[in-house]
Amino acid sequence: MTVPVRSLEFADPREAADLAAFLGRLLHYDRAAAVRMQAGGGALAVFGRPPSFEVLAIRTARLSGPDDDFDVTVSAGELLESLAESTGTGAVPAPVTGPPWTGVLPPRGGWRELPGLPDPVSLRAAVTAAVAEFRSRDEALPEERRTRVERDLIGREIWSRTVAGTGLPLRAVHAAQSLGFLRPAPDFPVALLTAGSWLRLRTPYGSVALRGPGSGLGSLNLSVGTG
């Protein structure tokens, strides 16, 4: 029996282009990436997990119709291939068995803003300084200690630091920068939100979020906000 293909019609072709850019960045880190798609009320949310950062990320897009509701996990590559940026259309690929993180998403409501988050320019500067520090410390390692284990220890120490005492790990800011969520733009509001044990960095281009220590998720300590 042929399964009908569910089409996607975006409210603006630029929505499809921005989603395609997000998917392309995810696939750069994991060619076999899966994403969870949730649609409802004229909006689409796409969740992904770039493994290099140990965080999940989300990109939202406006759809042309408010009545198309679905929740499915699909191949990021197949979704990207279906998108036609010129017409603002696409298709929902066949479902796949999702990785464990797809079953652990944050609440949709109940978020409140936390104070103390630096401005976007300062956030990007912090990431640049951290990358430079990692390279300097890596180059200073003696040859016999220049191993993957030593480099991972340096990286974990740097990227686990919190931003301006907010509790937000620097790795979450690095992820936002690498995924295109912290791109320079005029009138660029960013916010740090919390709901229960979740923290979420929200920008106009997408969000990353994570659960704090002791959340019971083990190595899957992180997830995304809702755009």
The structure tokens listed for 110 are 């109940």
Asked if residue 201 lies in contact with residue 188, where contact means CB atoms within 8 angstroms, the answer is no
- Residue 199 parent element (H or E): strand 198-203
Q: What is the pLDDT of residue 224?
A: 33
Model confidence over 68-94: pLDDT tens digits? 789 999 999 999 999 999 999 999 999
Which residue is associated with the tokens 């229960």?
Answer: 196
For residue 26, give Cα distances in angstroms to 21, 55, 159, 170, 215. Answer: 9, 12, 19, 19, 25
**Nearest alpha-carbon partner for 41 in 70, 4, 12, 80:** 70
Does 5 have pLDDT greater than 80? Answer: no
pLDDT at 222 over 60: no
Look over the chain and give the mean of its residue pLDDT values, rounded to a whole number: 87
pLDDT tens, residue by residue, 24-66: 999 999 999 999 999 998 999 999 999 888 888 999 999 997 6
Residues across the chain: 227
Answer for the pair 126, 173: CB distance below 8 angstroms, yes or no: yes
Provide the 3-class DSSP secondary structure of residue 10: strand
Phi, psi of 212, rounded to the nearest 5 degrees: -75, 175
Q: Tens of pLDDT along 107-158?
A: 888 999 999 999 999 999 999 999 999 999 999 999 888 898 999 999 999 9
Confidence tier at 209 by pLDDT (50, 70, 90)? confident
Model confidence, pTM: 0.87
Domains along the chain? Answer: 6-103 (3.10.150.10), 112-195 (no CATH)
